[in-house]
Amino acid sequence: MSFRKVSIIIWVLAIVLFLLVLHHNFLSLSSLLRNEVSDSGILGLQPIDFVADIHQHPVNGRQEEIPVVIAASEDRLGGTIAAINSIHHNTRSNVIFYIVTLNSTEDHLRSWLNSVSLKSIRYKIVNFDTKLLEGKVKEDPDQGESMKPLTFARFYLPILVPSAKKAIYMDDDVIVQGDILALYNTPLKPGHAAAFSEDCDSTSTKVIIRGAGNQYNYIGYLDYKKERIRKLSMKASTCSFNPGVFVANLTEWKRQNVTNQLEKWMKLNVEEGLYSRTLAGSITTPPLLIVFYQQHSTIDPMWNVRHLGSSAGKRYSPQFVKAAKLLHWNGHFKPWGRAASYADVWEKWYIPDPTGKFSLIRRHMDTSNIK
């Protein structure tokens, strides 16, 4: 082969190599630009605050994003921070947090998220528009949650996470001890828009409410004396489920107009009072029980080990608590409060508030010294 032909071949190979490098850089730039596009919508979505996670958990750009939606109310902000911290440090997956809050809390939240321990998380702060709840929530002094709009954020997942096909929702009173990827990979049956943990599962003992008996079935949440409830032909003994942690198929959610269905039952309750008089747990639960009656999948019970906040006593062994993938302090006794059970487990993930506004309340503390 002549020297001239060899030179031509080398030049061709060099050009091909150059074009391949150029193409790769173009794809990387396109991907970066896609990540930095901010969303807009009726909830006032804000840009994602991206910080490269280099030191602890390198993220493979090809990994599927795992959207985790969690509310951040001013009086419980420490819980949100601890939950986020526990998720972040127990996974190498590409997690992005959608933190739903009110405008008045945003500055406080941002100052906390700038803590050294949280600088590497990827998140988006979403301001929740309380006007969405007008005419759908009855002001009831006996039901404190009717005054807390963020408890209803879970009803609006497709708006909160508009580009995702799947998402995880969880309450702020949880600690995650397993890899969140396992929860995200929960299989959902065809036609099911969400997967919850059943209240009859073996890991969660039955909760007894004074005057109402065991509260782990539909009759504990819905008033079966009301004709509209009876017409649904839902068995009162049907096992209820806990909506504090769930996985949602957002494609199916939108196809079935789940948000509209939930809003329908919220409005009807305002007009007719459809919830049980001895309502157990959250007032957000009854609409979900109706809409998802026999139409939901289940998550592994170890991914929602709950009732840690239903009494001041310890209801599980230390070994079981250690083995749980997710601990849930649903109930009156929160892990940042004075009478909390397993507070030491929760506190491992708590990051002190740099502003000093949020303080832990502990038995050994003199309450007069708490700011």
Q: Are 187 and 179 in contact (CB under 8 A)?
A: no
- Tokens representing residue 122 in the block: 């990827």
The amino acid that residue 68 corresponds to is V
Distance CA(166)–CA(98), nearest Å, equals: 13
**What's the pLDDT band for 215 if we cut at 50, 70, 90?**
low
Distance CA(183)–CA(331), nearest Å, equals: 23
pLDDT at position 327 = 97
Is the pLDDT assigned to residue 70 strictly greater than 70?
yes
Average pLDDT over residues 345-360: 96
* From 11-15, 125-129, 174-178, 353-357, the region with the lowest mean pLDDT: 11-15
* From 110-124, 270-284, 322-336, the region with the lowest mean pLDDT: 270-284
Q: What is the DSSP letter of 34?
A: H
Average pLDDT over residues 31-55: 36
Q: Are 96 and 66 in contact (CB under 8 A)?
A: yes
- 345-354 burial, b if ≥16 CB within 10 A, otherwise e? bbeebbbebe
Pairing mode, strands 123-127 and 94-101 = parallel
Is the pLDDT assigned to residue 178 strictly greater than 80?
yes
Q: Which residues contact 302 (CB under 8 A, 6 or more apart)?
A: 178, 203, 323, 324, 325, 326
Distance CA(294)–CA(278), nearest Å, equals: 23
Q: What is the DSSP letter of 201?
A: S
Is the pLDDT assigned to residue 366 strictly greater than 70?
no
pLDDT in tens, 262-293: 999 999 999 999 999 877 667 999 999 999 99
Task: Tell me if residue 342 falls in helix, strand or coil.
Answer: coil
pLDDT in tens, 8-39: 777 666 676 666 555 554 444 343 333 323 33
Q: Are 180 and 90 in contact (CB under 8 A)?
A: yes
pLDDT at position 331 = 87
Pairing mode, strands 94-101 and 65-71 = parallel
Distance CA(155)–CA(27), nearest Å, equals: 36
**Among 24-38, 241-255, 350-364, which range has the highest average pLDDT?**
241-255
Average pLDDT over residues 145-151: 80
Q: What is the DSSP letter of 154?
A: G
Q: Are 207 and 307 in contact (CB under 8 A)?
A: yes
Q: Are 128 and 152 in contact (CB under 8 A)?
A: no
More confident residue, 106 or 1: 106
pLDDT at position 338 = 86
**pTM (predicted TM-score):** 0.81
pLDDT at position 212 = 42
**What's the pLDDT band for 142 if we cut at 50, 70, 90?**
low
